[in-house]
Amino acid sequence: MANTKNAKKADRQAKKRRDRNRYQVKTTRNAVKSLRSVTTKEEAEKLLPKTLSMLDKLAKRNVIHKKKADNLKSGLMKKARALK
């Protein structure tokens, strides 16, 4: 348990960051899942930029690793290109 004023503040900040990161990761994961499930090229072209942007932001803020974001983006773009 935090004893000092500084430690209590650090706990509050960590909780805020953790909650925000978890929300952003979950939202991005749902966006990736929905993009993977589309069947038309028009839908994919609409969802792709937003999803790639979300992944870039998570990587920039060190919520996920940069290479993980790159690998996810690569797979999503490959899938989008393969659609008819």
Is 5-82 assigned to CATH 1.20.58.110?
A: yes
Least confident of 1-5, 17-21, 44-48: 1-5
Q: How is the chain split into domains, by residue range? A: 5-82
**Region 67-77: what's the mean pLDDT?**
97
Contacts of 69 (CB under 8 A, 6+ apart): 55, 56, 58, 59
Angle of CA points 26, 43, 51, to nearest 5°: 30
**Region 45-55: what's the mean pLDDT?**
96
Instruction: Say what the pTM is.
Output: 0.86
